[in-house]
Structure 1
């Protein structure tokens, strides 16, 4: 009986540990997705600024 309780206790600890690790992974994935969105917005903004700069260049050379 004691072995069964010990096995159940170990199983419970493993399940809880796995659940916690899964939650941490999901949180990290969400953080990385948010960072990726910010970086994509920054890239888009920089591309727009570069295009504006390229449009102005011929006028600056005159």
Structure 2
């Protein structure tokens, strides 16, 4: 999960702990397919919003 309570979009480094496919649950965008464990991705979180990713692996 990544949250942005600020007044502008923010790009932040984000690590996914388990290898597999990740689906973003709030708006279905920014999905990650076939990731290894603990890669660092830069994601942009819109202002006053957030993202939640889940995996089924």
> Scaled by the length of structure 2, what TM-score is found?
0.15
Q: Which has the higher helix share?
A: 1
Q: Whose radius of gyration is greater, 1 or 2?
A: 1
Q: Which has the higher strand share?
A: 2
